[in-house]
A and B are shown apart, each in its own frame.
Chain A
Amino acid sequence: MTNSELIRSSAANLATRLAAKEISAVEVTQAHLDRIAAVDGALNAFLHINTDEALSVAADVDARRAHGEDLHELAGVPIAVKDLIVTIGQPTTAGSRILDGWHSPYDATVVRKLREARMPILGKTNLDEFAMGSSTEHSAFGPTRNPWDLDRIPGGSGGGSAAAVAAFEAPLALGTDTGGSIRQPGAVTGTVGVKPTYGAVSRYGAIAMASSLDQIGPVSRTVLDSALLQEVIGGHDPFDSTSLTDPSTGLVAAARLGNVSGMKIGIIRELHGEGYQAGVENRFNESLELLKQAGAEIVEVSCPNFQYALGAYYLIMPSEASSNLAKFDGVRFGLRTLPGDGPMTIERVMGATRAAGFGDEVKRRIILGTYALSAGYYDAYYGSAQKVRTLIQQDFNAAFSQTDVLISPTAPTTAFKLGEKLDDPLAMYLNDVATIPANLAGVPGLSLPGGLADEDGLPVGIQLLAPAREDARLYRVGAVLESLLEQSWGGPLLDQAPELAGAAAGLAGTKEAK
């Protein structure tokens, strides 16, 4: 296989060829490192490149395979990790100056599982600071750019992981999704992203934004690849009290089964139409048509309380975040900034550290959360928002009593221009209107490419939602839709993405590990 074939392969395909010893893990890993070197200068998807460790894990896989050792299916398939997830041996920044240079002395549970499967970790991907944002512009280390158009955002907060996968820098990546941070970047970069059921994947080692909403999940170019990855990272973890005991099996089988005949698929009345870009709406309708042709019954359902979802989310998330981010104070780890003048007390050092270490969006959310939790406001804000959560769950329960899965556009628009919404926090928040309900209710959601919008030629995402613990349904339906769409396009959507300048010019890698 040529380097170009290696990097454009799906993880499943790489796994098959690695197992057959047609290719080596070192070869695959090196091809991706070369690609990163060639294009990441333009994209800024990676904050750290883990060259030596990735190659040594790959070499170890090759040696073990040569000895006939029985390895994990994905052994030797490289992966990128969102820099919100802690890793021994690499820095973890959460996209924040406050953690610049910090190395975790422990591995996140999902990272431990990647190591056990012997998947070379290519590096750490860029994100909005502490995963707070929908564009990756809030990273302290510069924005990531969308491979489809370098002047546009790759979505957020997991724009680095999505862009890396879309730009063939990695076949797989890990993301985290609190209000859509895996799915919305997937939508705007033409990739697949899954937010598993809350508790299906351990959160241990994912730097918390909002504990009751956060979930780690897979980022990939195909539905099957996400299923393969979720089976690696999922399952019970005794280090996470909210981790479910359900086994993370049956997902790959569901993706391979890919059959929707007789299934009921519900359109959520509140999550399309007004406020959604015409091109998004058109692609969404095409997907519905394809699913109908494949034997699914399309019905419409109403989730009237979804109108409160964004409000509830922007109370619960900042409340929990304000408390979760209190530990960043310059005492035990990370940045310490001394006050410019006045008495040198720990109070003032904490205040100066947090002032210098946090960006505007993080400060905004901390202040908002502090407000929502403060005496006199708790019941009206946090308390009410928790009640809205109950109403949203009830809406989902009612919808799932009539349907097997729900469907909507993932995001109301395609990728917007860098800087376009930076000064309008509320407009930025509206990007997550379709993804947030799943986080509030804990149900799983998958976004897959639905084509390109007519007006701008940019990717549109289709979101599937299933009842809690029924992640397999997403893979089953997603695989069908993916295959029907690819038939209609004559290949993967990313085949239509423009060549990246650096790669086209065949530039040798200049981007060193940072």
Chain B
Amino acid sequence: MDATLSFDEAIEKFDPVLGFEVHVELNTATKMFSSAPNVFGDEPNTNVNEVDLGLPGVLPVVNKAAVESSILIGLALNCTIAEYCRFARKNYFYPDTPKNFQTSQYDEPIAHDGYLDVELEDGTVFRVEIERAHMEEDAGKLTHMGGATGRIQGADFSLVDYNRAGVPLVEIVTKPIEGAGARAPELAKAYVAAVREVVKNLGVSDAKMERGNVRCDANVSLRPYGREKFGTRSETKNVNSLRAVEHAVRHEIQRHAAVLDGGGTIVQETRHWHEDTKSTTSGRPKSDADDYRYFPEPDLVPITASYEWVESLRARLPEPPAERRKRLKEAWGYSDLEFRDVVNAGLMDEIEETVAAGASASVARKWWMGEIARRAKLADVDPAALGVTPAVVVELDSLIREGKINDKLAREVLDGVLAGEGTPTEVVDKRGLAVVSDDGALQAAIDQALAAQPDVADKIRGGKVQAVGAIVGGVMKVTKGQADAGRVRELILQTLGVSA
């Protein structure tokens, strides 16, 4: 890189313009054009049929559910749904692309001209204009072998798994995003997060970035302030986490600024993001090899979305995420900080379900943001993926409220639930964890504890009621914690003839 500029210096000199192409993998049961299963993580080349492998003679047939998911995405992004659209072939040779063309949409996308309101951390709302959302198919997965890094450079050979080939994708393309200024990296992250939230909320994608369900290509260009014409852009490919999106945009702004400031010019090219070095490297420049020779896919017929069809899908749209957040925050009575923490932890759905299942909002928050989040962090998984269901939380809470267990026992019950020993009640029974509430059994323990600490007993008799804690502690020790501390206290005072 030429002379470096700080981010602030870069922004002071240049006006950044952003653009995003976000690919969303749909969670349909089958592929875009074949009836092979759309499943992540199976043995290589086991979720394919002849269509996915592009064997001689095969023909594609469009998945209706994928079309409907695409229309839903278009509607949620406030797009116009095309009355008539078609697939086209994008011709290029690459070993992860079985037919050596991608069946995609070109000048006739299913959805176009929409917008997405993106909320920044301080509550500012930034409207991002959507140019189009189009349907296409995913490619297979390459594993580069040999060479030191497992990267494509220096590899001796590559292995191809076509399980992902043909998975339905919706590619969402923004119009150039102007005016973000210093907040460009933050907006980039917030935009991708918002898209992710929209498709997750629609239920059309699993939206797991770590699995590549949502993948972002980030375009960055700079221009002097006040100039209308855009600068030359770079396209950073496959930036696949929210943090990386933010970092990549920040990095590219600084890189462009340094080049331009040094009197250089930006080459239009693709760039690759490297998480380890937090920087991009040059991919391949735009060249005549990018002549994709698009033409309408002759093996498929057009899709016409009737008013009735689109409206029936519109009726299925869930509440938009921003509205939902506003509603839930009010209903739960959380503070701004509490609510933002819940959102950032991705636990809104879980808390909503837990509340719906009968817990109070504060209890639900206490469990999910507390014990469950703590364990998830230890296990290095999402809290939602830990295996605790809202029903478990509700049951734990009612066991506590009924006095059957205390907080400490509840944690042990949770251990049992996570170990697959059954419901909380079943774990209590199997492990014999119920609080000792049989007064007879408790009385023996109390007598024993009082006898062990006669001086303390005297103090209590003498009116120092707060000393009762030491005796309670003794009882809890004897009962291995399985006593209801409140009841123990009552019984001690009763035994000593002291009123509370």
Binding site for B on A (CB under 8 A): 85-86, 92, 94, 99, 102, 104-106, 108, 203-208, 210-212, 238-242, 319-320, 322-323, 326-329, 331-333, 346-347, 350, 370, 373-375, 378, 382
Which of A108, A242, A319, A370 lies in contact with B57, CB distance below 8 A?
A108
Bound-complex Cα distance A159 to B491 (A): 104
Which of A323, A331, A347, A375 lies in contact with B160, CB distance below 8 A?
A331
The residue on A at minimum CB distance from B100 is: A326
Which of B49, B93, B95, B295 lies in contact with A378, CB distance below 8 A?
B295
Which chain B residues lie closer than 8 Å to A319 at the CB level? 295
Of the 9-residue stretches B242-250, B298-306, B315-323, B414-422, which lies at the interface with chain A? B298-306
Tell whether, in the assembled complex, residue B293 and residue A374 are in contact, meaning their CB atoms are under 8 Å apart: yes
Tell whether, in the assembled complex, residue A242 and residue B158 are in contact, meaning their CB atoms are under 8 Å apart: no
Bound-complex Cα distance A374 to B89 (A): 13
Q: Decide yes or no whether B343 CB sits under 8 A from chain A.
A: no
State the main secondary structure of chain B at its contact with A.
loop
Shortest distance from the beta carbon of B90 to any chain A beta carbon, whole Å: 10
Bound-complex Cα distance A105 to B160 (A): 19
Tell whether, in the assembled complex, residue B293 and residue A327 are in contact, meaning their CB atoms are under 8 Å apart: no
Tell whether, in the assembled complex, residue B291 and residue A332 are in contact, meaning their CB atoms are under 8 Å apart: no
The residue on A at minimum CB distance from B61 is: A241
Q: Decide yes or no whether B260 CB sits under 8 A from chain A.
A: no
Indicate whether A242 sits within 8 Å of B295 (C-beta atoms), given known contacts A86-B57, A329-B100: no
Shortest distance from the beta carbon of B51 to any chain A beta carbon, whole Å: 9
Bound-complex Cα distance A313 to B177 (A): 45
Which of A207, A241, A322 lies in contact with B299, CB distance below 8 A?
A241
Tell whether, in the assembled complex, residue B295 and residue A106 are in contact, meaning their CB atoms are under 8 Å apart: no
Bound-complex Cα distance A320 to B296 (A): 10
Indicate whether A323 sits within 8 Å of B295 (C-beta atoms), given known contacts A105-B50, A242-B301, A346-B95: yes
Q: Mark B40-68, 1 if CB is under 8 A from A, else 0.
A: 00000000011001111111111000000
Tell whether, in the assembled complex, residue A207 and residue B59 are in contact, meaning their CB atoms are under 8 Å apart: no
Tell whether, in the assembled complex, residue A382 and residue B58 are in contact, meaning their CB atoms are under 8 Å apart: no
Indicate whether A323 sits within 8 Å of B299 (C-beta atoms), given known contacts A239-B59, A239-B61: no
Q: Decide yes or no whether B334 CB sits under 8 A from chain A.
A: no
14 contacts between A and B (CB under 8 A): A105-B50, A106-B50, A207-B57, A208-B59, A210-B298, A241-B60, A242-B301, A320-B298, A327-B56, A327-B99, A328-B56, A333-B53, A370-B293, A373-B293
Indicate whether A375 sits within 8 Å of B61 (C-beta atoms), given known contacts A242-B301, A323-B101, A327-B56: no
The residue on A at minimum CB distance from B162 is: A332
Indicate whether A323 sits within 8 Å of B91 (C-beta atoms), given known contacts A241-B300, A242-B299: yes
Could you say which interface size class chain B belongs to?
20 to 34
Q: Decide yes or no whether B98 CB sits under 8 A from chain A.
A: yes
Tell whether, in the assembled complex, residue B59 and residue A203 are in contact, meaning their CB atoms are under 8 Å apart: yes
Which chain A residues lie closer than 8 Å to B100 at the CB level? 326-327, 329
A-B contact sample (11 more), CB < 8 A, given A211-B299, A320-B298, A323-B101: A85-B57, A106-B57, A108-B57, A241-B62, A241-B300, A242-B299, A319-B295, A323-B89, A331-B160, A370-B293, A378-B293
Shortest distance from the beta carbon of A369 to any chain B beta carbon, whole Å: 9
Which of B49, B57, B101, B160 lies in contact with A204, CB distance below 8 A?
B57
Tell whether, in the assembled complex, residue A373 and residue B57 are in contact, meaning their CB atoms are under 8 Å apart: no
Tell whether, in the assembled complex, residue A374 and residue B56 are in contact, meaning their CB atoms are under 8 Å apart: no
Tell whether, in the assembled complex, residue A347 and residue B291 are in contact, meaning their CB atoms are under 8 Å apart: no
The residue on B at minimum CB distance from A84 is: B57
Tell whether, in the assembled complex, residue A206 and residue B57 are in contact, meaning their CB atoms are under 8 Å apart: yes
Interface-centre pick from A94, A108, A323, A346 (highest chain B CB count, 10 A):
A323
Which of B56, B61, B99 lies in contact with A99, CB distance below 8 A?
B56
Indicate whether A333 sits within 8 Å of B295 (C-beta atoms), given known contacts A327-B98, A346-B158: no
The residue on B at minimum CB distance from A326 is: B100
Which chain B residues lie closer than 8 Å to A322 at the CB level? 91, 293
Which chain B residues lie closer than 8 Å to A106 at the CB level? 49-50, 55, 57
Bound-complex Cα distance A242 to B87 (A): 14
Tell whether, in the assembled complex, residue B293 and residue A208 are in contact, meaning their CB atoms are under 8 Å apart: no
Bound-complex Cα distance A370 to B101 (A): 13
Which chain A residues lie closer than 8 Å to B54 at the CB level? 327, 332
Tell whether, in the assembled complex, residue B99 and residue A326 are in contact, meaning their CB atoms are under 8 Å apart: yes
Indicate whether A241 sits within 8 Å of B57 (C-beta atoms), given known contacts A106-B50, A346-B95, A373-B293: no
Interface residues in B147-203 by Cβ distance below 8 A to A read: 158, 160
Tell whether, in the assembled complex, residue B55 and residue A238 are in contact, meaning their CB atoms are under 8 Å apart: no
Which chain A residues lie closer than 8 Å to B294 at the CB level? 373, 378
Bound-complex Cα distance A135 to B301 (A): 33
Tell whether, in the assembled complex, residue A347 and residue B93 are in contact, meaning their CB atoms are under 8 Å apart: yes
Which chain A residues lie closer than 8 Å to B89 at the CB level? 323
Bound-complex Cα distance A350 to B92 (A): 12
Bound-complex Cα distance A221 to B345 (A): 75
Tell whether, in the assembled complex, residue A373 and residue B91 are in contact, meaning their CB atoms are under 8 Å apart: yes
Bound-complex Cα distance A346 to B294 (A): 23
Q: Mark B252-294, 1 if CB is under 8 A from A, else 0.
A: 0000000000000000000000000000000000000001011
Shortest distance from the beta carbon of A32 to any chain B beta carbon, whole Å: 26
Bound-complex Cα distance A375 to B62 (A): 28
Interface-centre pick from A204, A212, A333, A382 (highest chain B CB count, 10 A):
A204
Bound-complex Cα distance A319 to B88 (A): 13
Bound-complex Cα distance A350 to B94 (A): 10
Bound-complex Cα distance A378 to B106 (A): 14
Tell whether, in the assembled complex, residue A92 and residue B59 are in contact, meaning their CB atoms are under 8 Å apart: no
Shortest distance from the beta carbon of A321 to any chain B beta carbon, whole Å: 11
Which chain A residues lie closer than 8 Å to B95 at the CB level? 329, 331, 346
Which of A211, A333, A370 lies in contact with B298, CB distance below 8 A?
A211
Shortest distance from the beta carbon of A134 to any chain B beta carbon, whole Å: 22
Which chain A residues lie closer than 8 Å to B49 at the CB level? 106
Bound-complex Cα distance A311 to B177 (A): 46
Tell whether, in the assembled complex, residue A375 and residue B291 are in contact, meaning their CB atoms are under 8 Å apart: yes
Shortest distance from the beta carbon of B158 to any chain A beta carbon, whole Å: 7
Bound-complex Cα distance A348 to B460 (A): 92
The residue on B at minimum CB distance from A325 is: B100
Interface-centre pick from A92, A319, A326, A347 (highest chain B CB count, 10 A):
A326
The residue on B at minimum CB distance from A210 is: B298
Bound-complex Cα distance A210 to B56 (A): 13
Tell whether, in the assembled complex, residue B295 and residue A382 are in contact, meaning their CB atoms are under 8 Å apart: yes
Bound-complex Cα distance A92 to B50 (A): 15
Shortest distance from the beta carbon of B188 to any chain A beta carbon, whole Å: 31
Which chain B residues lie closer than 8 Å to A86 at the CB level? 55-57
Tell whether, in the assembled complex, residue B299 and residue A332 are in contact, meaning their CB atoms are under 8 Å apart: no
Tell whether, in the assembled complex, residue A326 and residue B61 are in contact, meaning their CB atoms are under 8 Å apart: no
Bound-complex Cα distance A241 to B299 (A): 7
Interface-centre pick from A86, A206, A322, A331 (highest chain B CB count, 10 A):
A331
Shortest distance from the beta carbon of B184 to any chain A beta carbon, whole Å: 32
Shortest distance from the beta carbon of A233 to any chain B beta carbon, whole Å: 15
Q: Mark B95-133, 1 if CB is under 8 A from A, else 0.
A: 100111100000000000000000000000000000000
Tell whether, in the assembled complex, residue A332 and residue B98 are in contact, meaning their CB atoms are under 8 Å apart: yes
Shortest distance from the beta carbon of A72 to any chain B beta carbon, whole Å: 24
Shortest distance from the beta carbon of B162 to any chain A beta carbon, whole Å: 8
The residue on A at minimum CB distance from B51 is: A239
The residue on B at minimum CB distance from A333 is: B55
Shortest distance from the beta carbon of A442 to any chain B beta carbon, whole Å: 12
Shortest distance from the beta carbon of B426 to any chain A beta carbon, whole Å: 48
Tell whether, in the assembled complex, residue B55 and residue A204 are in contact, meaning their CB atoms are under 8 Å apart: no
Which of A92, A211, A238, A373 lies in contact with B61, CB distance below 8 A?
A238
Shortest distance from the beta carbon of A468 to any chain B beta carbon, whole Å: 15
Which chain B residues lie closer than 8 Å to A320 at the CB level? 295, 298
Bound-complex Cα distance A373 to B61 (A): 24
Which chain A residues lie closer than 8 Å to B50 at the CB level? 104-106
Tell whether, in the assembled complex, residue B93 and residue A350 are in contact, meaning their CB atoms are under 8 Å apart: yes
Bound-complex Cα distance A320 to B89 (A): 10
Which chain B residues lie closer than 8 Å to A207 at the CB level? 56-57
Tell whether, in the assembled complex, residue A204 and residue B59 are in contact, meaning their CB atoms are under 8 Å apart: yes
Bound-complex Cα distance A106 to B49 (A): 9
Bound-complex Cα distance A394 to B471 (A): 102
Bound-complex Cα distance A375 to B292 (A): 8
Interface-centre pick from A99, A203, A208 (highest chain B CB count, 10 A):
A208
Bound-complex Cα distance A238 to B62 (A): 11
Bound-complex Cα distance A211 to B50 (A): 17
